[in-house]
Structure formats: C-alpha cells, structure tokens
Amino acid sequence: MPEITLDQLKEELKKDKIDDLEKFKELFKEFYKQLQKEQKDFVKYLEWAYEKSGRDADIKSILEDISGKNASDLIESLKRLGYSMQESLGEDFEKAGFRLLEQVRAGKRSDVMYGITRIFLANRQNLPDILNEAFKPYYSDELFKCFMFTFLSSVIKPKENNKEE
C-alpha cells in the first residue's frame, strides 16, 4: 500500500459521508503503522545522535521524553513476552528468580542483563529485541525496575501448590 499522508486522512474526514467504511478504517490503520515505524526509526537516530554527541544532556532529555511515552507499551509487551515464555524458560527463570529480583532492586543493570542473557543462551535462544529495549541507558532506574519486575513476574513459572485446604 502506498504511503498515506495526514492530508489524505484530512480529506477523507472532510467528506459529508464515508463511502466505504472498511477502506476508511484501513487508511487509519495503515497510517498508524507508518507512524509507529517512523517513530521507531526516529528513536534509533536519536540514540545514535546521543552516542555521537558524547551523551549530550539535551538529546538525552528528548530520548527520556519519548521513552516515557513508550514505557507503558513496553511494560505490556514485556508482560506478554514473559507469559509466552513460561513454558519454555519459566523453570530456568524460577531458579534464578530471587537473585535476578534482588539485582533489579539494587539497580545492577549489567548483572541483570548477564543473568537473563545467560538463561536465553543456555536454552539456545536469542534475547528478544523487546528485552534489549528495556536495558537502554536512557530509561531511568525506576522505569528499568518496573520493566524487569513486570517481565520477571510474568516469566517465572509458578510452582504447583499441593497443599490441601
């Protein structure tokens, strides 16, 4: 599908009547996909600029602003990722869970990254991009903790409770 512009959407909205509702909805969905891709690319370029600028505070501020807006989406994605990996990696995360949780609480990003990466590599799996995103340095320590607590609480496979009540 060709690129959709805001002007096209505006023209569709100016019409008295929507002729084809499905086509109308598809235009908005497609535009939103384009917008998401452009934003993702923009963040990559901003990260690059941040590194090339010697970690300039103003560029970091822009990154933090954009990152904060994306944080809730990232939290939801990490939660879904964790639940989807419970079957394959849940037991491994359970074994390392308390150590990882304590390292997260202490703000030891590199240790947490190492522990999580080790679990994935030991199971011959690549670290998902969404997890890499959570470790980016422009996220505050508090956001990082939220990201990791969300992921770990969803990926750790709960033990069966055999107690009779």
How far, in Å, CA of 29 to CA of 34, rounded? 9
How far, in Å, CA of 116 to CA of 150, rounded? 14
Q: pLDDT, tens digit, for every residue of 90-118? A: 899 999 989 999 999 999 999 999 999 99
157, 94 contact by CB (below 8 A): yes
Give the start-end residues of each E strand in 16-160. none
What pLDDT does residue 110 have? Answer: 94
Question: Domain extents for the chain?
Answer: 21-155
Residue 136 pLDDT exceeds 50: yes
What pLDDT does residue 60 have? Answer: 86
Q: pLDDT, tens digit, for every residue of 27-79? A: 899 999 898 889 888 988 998 999 999 989 899 888 878 876 778 888 999 99
What pLDDT does residue 165 have? Answer: 47
Residue 163 pLDDT exceeds 70: no
What pLDDT does residue 71 have? Answer: 84
Residue 14 pLDDT exceeds 50: yes
Average model confidence (pLDDT) for the chain? 88
Residue 139 pLDDT exceeds 90: no
Distances (CA, A) of 29 to 60, 62, 65, 100, 151: 31, 27, 25, 39, 28
The mean per-residue pLDDT over the stretch 14-36 comes to: 88
What pLDDT does residue 144 have? Answer: 93
Residue 1 banded pLDDT, cuts 50, 70, 90:
low
127, 116 contact by CB (below 8 A): yes
How far, in Å, CA of 165 to CA of 162, rounded? 9
What pLDDT does residue 23 have? Answer: 87
Residue 161 banded pLDDT, cuts 50, 70, 90:
low
Could you tell me which of 139, 141, 147 has the C-alpha nearest to residue 116? Answer: 147
Q: Quickly list DSSP for 6-20.
A: HHHHHHHHHSSS-S-
